Chains A and B, each alone.
Chain A
Amino acid sequence: MDDNSVHELALRMGDNCLILGQGLSAWCGHAPALEEDIALANIALDLIGQTKHWLGLAADLSSEKKTADDLAFLRDVREFKNCLLVEQSNGDYGNTLMRQFLFDAWHYPVLEALVKSSDKRIADIAEKSIKEVTYHLERSTDLVIRLGDGSAESNKRMQGALNRLWRYTGELTEPDSIDDALADSGIAPDLGEIRKKHTQYLAAALREAMLTIPDGEQMQSGGKRGLHTEGFGYLLGEMQVLQRSNPGAKW
């Protein structure tokens, strides 16, 4: 197995954590309740911490001398390999929670498998991350159920969020040639297996939340190839402005 595929895996994992962490950070000081504000800030912090591990590994494996910060702040849209789900705008609080839930329910089984990766660098990061993600999944599941099975208004908002975001869930477990190579060498799991777990988990939780999975939705994909949705450039612009306008700035 060449390090190129491991590099790509580290980028994909790291970019997912980074972009979702960036989106969540925007809630800091704006969430509907103090406890929610603190929870979102903590989850964002966990994800940014995990980003540091993943992009640190990607940087170590890159041919040029790069750091995790260079990868986060100096790459352009096409070089980011995160899935489309995590780059969708925060929307209302229900939308943010639904996005988190759909992602956590994928993130958890992926990390569970990566803990057993044949590549120790990957396994170590997964072992650390999964402890944090266990809490993320527990929380987002609980809140999606409470709000879905809550008032008429909260149910309507959660269903709306699910309808909007569902089309971005297929990509999470859609393998490309890199995924296949990683699975063959025991570095990463077979995404077909992850798909089964993801689908099962979502179905059980959403049923309990009294929410209906959209039928016959056309799935969108492209993130792993660097093809992103419209709002992504703005997200990067905001995230990178400081380093772009003050190259090398430190604090």
Chain B
Amino acid sequence: MQTAAKKTSVATVWSWLENVPDPEIPVISVVDLGIVRDVVWVDDRLVISVTPTYSGCPATAVISLEIENELRRHDVEKVEIKTILSPAWTTDWITEAGRQKLKDYGIAPPVNGAASCAGALMRPAFSAVECPHCGSSETKCVSQFGSTPCKASYRCEECLEPFDYFKSF
């Protein structure tokens, strides 16, 4: 058991959290996703600050539970998960490793300024999203809203495969 006298280093705790998968995209960890914002000991309590990806993301509660379970596995007795809203989560916080894992899994990682299907009155410029299957930039946004709140639906004009795009947020 952890006591106030014997606390695991914060760096080690971060490495444990790298084993906690995102429940919806299990190849990527909560650390890769950039939603763990802070790890700190307050007396004998380990306080983990987590920020939601989307306000209504159903995975948020599961993520808190899985972080807690992981820490319990390492015999941390007192855990507090703190939800913070500000600064709001951005896909810029997804790590390089995380972006690569998304791509390998078949989800195009976020591109700044992309994911605009509309551009009617807003966001006129957009950059190309690369097909995660064949690498072509000849892709088309089918819908900005995909299988989960964080994804858009795309189609590759080159290999004709549909794919998910982790939209820039």
Asked if residues A137 and B57 are in contact (CB atoms below 8 Å), the reply is no
A-B contact pairs, 19 of them (CB 8 A): A39-B144, A39-B145, A42-B145, A42-B149, A45-B57, A47-B56, A52-B55, A127-B85, A128-B88, A131-B88, A137-B122, A138-B116, A138-B122, A139-B117, A141-B122, A142-B119, A145-B120, A145-B121, A208-B120
Against B, the Cβ 8 Å flags (1 = close, 0 = not) of A97-137 are 00000000000000000000000100111011101101101
Against B, the Cβ 8 Å flags (1 = close, 0 = not) of A206-243 are 00100000000000000000000000000000000000
Q: Which residue of the partner chain, among A44, A45, A123, A208, contacts B86 with CB atoms under 8 Å?
A: A123
Against A, the Cβ 8 Å flags (1 = close, 0 = not) of B73-110 are 00000000000011110100000000000000000000
| Chain A residues within 8 Å of B142, by CB | 35
B9 interfacial by beta-carbon distance below 8 Å: no
A205 interfacial by beta-carbon distance below 8 Å: yes
Asked if residues A141 and B55 are in contact (CB atoms below 8 Å), the reply is no
A49 interfacial by beta-carbon distance below 8 Å: yes
B54 interfacial by beta-carbon distance below 8 Å: yes
Instruction: Using CB atoms and an 8 Å cutoff, list the residues of chain A in contact with chain B.
Output: 35-36, 38-39, 41-50, 52-53, 120, 123-125, 127-129, 131-132, 134-135, 137-139, 141-142, 145, 201, 204-205, 208
| Chain B residues within 8 Å of A208, by CB | 120-121
Residues in B129-160 with C-beta less than 8 Å from chain A: 142-147, 149, 153
* Distance of A134 Cα from B85 Cα, bound (Å): 17
* Distance of A205 Cα from B121 Cα, bound (Å): 7
Interface of A is mostly: helix
Given contacts A38-B145, A127-B85, contact A46 B120 (CB under 8 A): no
Asked if residues A127 and B56 are in contact (CB atoms below 8 Å), the reply is no
Residue of B nearest to A137 (CB): B122
Q: Which residue of the partner chain, among A42, A44, A139, contacts B118 with CB atoms under 8 Å?
A: A139
| Chain B residues within 8 Å of A36, by CB | 143
Q: Output the least CB separation between B35 and chain A (Å).
A: 13
Residue of B nearest to A33 (CB): B143
Asked if residues A141 and B121 are in contact (CB atoms below 8 Å), the reply is yes
* Distance of A51 Cα from B167 Cα, bound (Å): 23
* Distance of A39 Cα from B118 Cα, bound (Å): 14
B58 interfacial by beta-carbon distance below 8 Å: yes
Residue of A nearest to B115 (CB): A135
Q: Output the least CB separation between A234 and chain B (Å).
A: 24
Asked if residues B153 and A142 are in contact (CB atoms below 8 Å), the reply is no
Chain B CB within 10 Å, residue with most, of A45, A123, A201, A204 = A45
| Chain B residues within 8 Å of A204, by CB | 121
